[in-house]
Structure 1
Amino acid sequence: MTTPISTDNLDRYGNAALPWSRPRDGLRQETPTADLTFFVATVRPDGRPHSAGVGAVWVDDALYFTSGPGSRKSRNLSTNPACSVSVRLPGIDLTLDGVADRVTDGPTLERLAEVYRSGGWPATVEGDAFTAPFSAPSAGPAPWHLYRLDLRRAVGVATAEPHGATRWEF
């Protein structure tokens, strides 16, 4: 289970620190069925930033996302696995920082393919990656790699009551 080791209240208006359970429960409830847009930010070898949409799901208190091996984001992650993933959940904007690890073990791939299918993307496992009749244009052509974000830090800014802004370290 992902449990913060520290919590910092970033709010300047007197609101209390937000509990980690708020964004965590939002991720649990909203993925994979809600129409959420996730963006992963990576760093090119020359230091320039790169951001692109990804198909992401929250499973067993971890964020997983996909990307084609030839895409800019996958090439960046192969050189520097540090990345950030951002999403707007109902009532809270969230940024997750960490290190992306490629998932290649069959049981995890099968389990995550099932989760993606439950959300409407007909993913199947082929070798150590996913295939499907379609994916997002930014994913590149099949096969698609699966990554697990090893969460290090998250920042949430509430857009609904109770308001606040909080950073969690893991």
Structure 2
Amino acid sequence: MTNTTIETRNLDQYGCPALEWARAQELLATESAAKDVPFFLNTVRPDGRPHSVGIGAAWFEDTLWFVSGPGTRKSRNLAANPACTVSVRLTGLDLVLEGTAHRVTEESTLDRVAARYRSGGWAAEREGAAFTAPYTAPSGGPPPWYVYRISLTAAHAVATAEPSGATRWTFG
């Protein structure tokens, strides 16, 4: 998200100042890729119905990354329509990220992302243009797993701890 303009809109109705995007980024960087942080990917089925599923996500290099088996509903939905949201409860902050998911195949990028996942406790390894590991979440499908990054268009957060507030950020 370097060289990105950020438009901030304060959504708080009680007089609290707008939340800082840096707060969300710091929490994403420190808490993502941990086994106990619940991320949910929301996509749209070809018939227009919503689909939501838990994912293992990692914030790395100012980007949200996640994996998915090629035959899973989420991967098939993203192939047809890459628009998505990701919801997460972080310490003191409920956050929704909006954007477009892109499959990543560049080997050096995949190697860096695999290393980030390993630092969080998942033994991911690059094999060709995908990941393998001894295990994954049951919703991940069988290996290999595609790697996706989300190009953010917007995010909104509600603080559940001080400093309080609610904010929407639009990225351009």
Inter-partner Cα distance in structure 2 for 1:4 and 1:83: 21
Q: Secondary structure at the match of 1:69?
A: coil
Report whether the alignment pairs 1:164 with 2:165: yes
**TM-score where L is the length of structure 2:** 0.96
Distance 1:157 1:23, change over 3 A: same
CA contact (8 A) 1:33 1:118 kept: no
Letter in 2 for 1:160: A
Ranges in structure 1 where 5+ consecutive residues have no aligned partner: none
Per-residue Cα deviation, 1:133-161 (whole angstroms, up to 9, x for no partner): 11000111111000000000000000001
User: RMSD in angstroms over aligned alpha carbons?
Assistant: 1.1
1:4 CA drift (Å): 4.6
Stretches of 4+ moved more than 2 A in 1? 1-5, 31-35
Q: Secondary structure at the match of 1:87?
A: strand
1:12 CA drift (Å): 1.0
Inter-partner Cα distance in structure 2 for 1:33 and 1:53: 13
Q: How many residues matched?
A: 170
Inter-partner Cα distance in structure 1 for 2:156 and 2:117: 25
Ranges in structure 2 where 5+ consecutive residues have no aligned partner: none
Distance 1:121 1:34, change over 3 A: closer
Aligned residues: percent identity? 62
Per-residue Cα deviation, 1:29-84 (whole angstroms, up to 9, x for no partner): 11234621110000000000000011100011110011111000000000000000
**Which residue in the other structure is 1:58 paired with?**
59
Report whether the alignment pairs 1:39 with 2:44: no
**TM-score where L is the length of structure 1:** 0.97
